[in-house]
Amino acid sequence: MGRVYVVSVIVGGVSGFRMAIASQGGIVAHLGFALLAVAWLFTTTRGFLRIRAGDDVDHRAWMIRSYSLTFAAVTLRLYLPLSLIAGVPFEIAYPVIAWLCWVPNLVVAERSFVRRRAMPQLSAS
């Protein structure tokens, strides 16, 4: 299953990067989506390399980060209609959502899952 995920992220990340260049919303949206694609490819690659090296703990941390970035597709689809319902014009909302769809996901994953799990290991040593 992991290999299928890695291949899927490679296809999605490369495609996402190409699409970021042509996205609506100007340079702010382009950068938001392009950095999402780069971060997604990077975190997945790091997770893959860590499991190949036999490091289960780091593999898990990197894959949690990767999955939080995968979930950006879901959060984008939640934020867009909510912003329209709230009356925020698309031209204003879209560049902001290009960042909001993934940065908070990554922060929550890091603080709630990666750091909290690492804390007991640090205090035990």
pLDDT tens digit at each of 125 positions of the chain: 899 999 999 999 999 999 999 988 899 999 999 999 999 999 999 999 999 999 999 999 999 999 999 999 999 999 999 999 999 999 999 999 999 999 999 999 999 888 876 555 544 44
Q: Name the burial class of residue 42, with classes exposed (0-12), middle (13-18) and buried (19+) by CB atoms within 10 angstroms of its CB.
A: middle
Q: Taking each helix axis from N to C terminus, what angle separates 72-85 and 56-70, rounded to the nearest 10 degrees? A: 30
The DSSP 8-state label assigned to residue 22 in this structure reads: T
Q: How far is CA 58 from CA 5, 55, 68, in A?
A: 17, 6, 16
Residues in the chain: 125
- What domain count does the chain have? 1
Helix (H, G, I), strand (E, B) or coil at 105: helix
Quote the CA–CA distance of 19 and 36 in Å, as a whole number. Answer: 11
If you compute the radius of gyration of the chain from its CA atoms, what whole number of angstroms results? 16
Range of the domain at 21: 2-124
Show the beta-strand stretches assigned E in 36-97.
Answer: none
pLDDT at 114: 85
pLDDT at 124: 47
